[in-house]
Chains A and B, each alone.
Chain A
Amino acid sequence: MGFLSRLFRREGGSKHVAKERLQLVLSHDRMKLPPALLEQMKDELITVISSYIEIDEAGINVELTERDDERQLIASIPVIGMRKRRARQ
């Protein structure tokens, strides 16, 4: 049993997974913003931002978090380069 418990501890145990999943699901529950809607929002963000700058779509990460009782929407968007600006009409 000692051996087994040490083995599990090395793997980190499932409690961290539980806590992370719980935090994620609760941030969606509390904001009443289901994960699928966040995906949709992310797609729209990509469209908007891409028309200004060239971004790495695969590297985009958008998530809801709670820090110090504050809900935040954090988007991390890797930039590849600037697009040539179209002249203003």
Chain B
Amino acid sequence: MGETLVITSGKGGVGKTTTTANIGVALADLGYRVALLDADIGLRNLDVVLGLENRIVYDIVDVVDGFCRLKQALIRDKRNEGLYLLPAAQTKDKTSVSPEQMRDITLQLKELNIATESGKAGYFDFIVVDSPAGIEQGFRNAIAGADRALIVTTPEVSAVRDADRIIGLLEAEEISRPQLIVNRIRPGMVRSGDMMGIEDIIDILAVELLGVIPEDDRILVGTNRGVPVVGDSSSRAGQAFKNVARRIVGEEVPLMKLDASEGFFGRLGYLLGIRGR
């Protein structure tokens, strides 16, 4: 039976959608069957990040309202076999879906048997839910069907504080042991003492670290094109997302050394504290 992961953060703009798209592509690359579910109703984004915006006919609210079947609303990714998107509605708001309905959709997705392009039938291994920012109904919806939560934060006081709040709320919902992804790390700034490092953040939040994604201009290039950076071999962030996907499926992958790309100050070795996996 498949597993449902929710990607959430509290604070907006820290990289949830970017993470969802890249983890999705990376998991599909590893041969898993993946459904990405955009739970940011009213602010649909995952479709453009994946380059699928022109293929949307139905959305999640249409499924909930019974206008179409779940299968009809699922969009097959054009590049990655086994990757599917269930888009959010753009013209509705968060209250058009309830947490119960959302949980029901994730359960239906787990039971859905579909044939991929090459004709292989099967069930989804992963359902990855892109949560909206905030702690209101959109967030409640996103976590409703989740078996596991990945929290995205950046090395900023406000983002880490919000992550702490989210950890508390997830515990209350009995989604225990959330894992953390620290996004937009700038090793040079960590070294010069102007950015909190991984060790500082893990120390404060006391959660398991799942991955560290460096700040990377290629992300914007990828979003411009509608192609997540996982497929871009020149992207450090892409490599880091691949590592995250491998850790999700249980592989032991060491944190990559972020300093190699830093040239001038690279001599200092990696000072990003490494803890856990």
Contact = CB atoms under 8 A, between A and B. Distances in A.
Contacts of A5: 191-192, 265
A29 B204 CA distance: 13
B57 interface: no
B195 A15 contact: yes
B157 A18 contact: yes
A19 B168 contact: no
B194 A14 contact: yes
A15 B194 contact: yes
Given A1-B264, A5-B265, A69-B206, A19 B196 contact: yes
Contacts of B125: none
Interface string B173-209: 0000000000000000011111111001000101000
B160 interface: yes
Interface stretch (A20-28, A39-47, A50-58, A81-89): A20-28
Contacts of B195: 15
Nearest to A6: B192
A13 B193 contact: yes
A30 B160 CA distance: 13
A76 B93 CA distance: 51
B206 A16 contact: no
A15 B204 contact: no
Given A8-B192, A23-B204, A29-B165, A15 B197 contact: yes
A9 interface: yes
A22 B204 contact: yes
Contacts of A9: 192-193
Contacts of B192: 5, 8-9, 13
Which 3 pairs between the two chains have the least Cβ-Cβ distance?
A: A13-B193, A5-B192, A13-B194
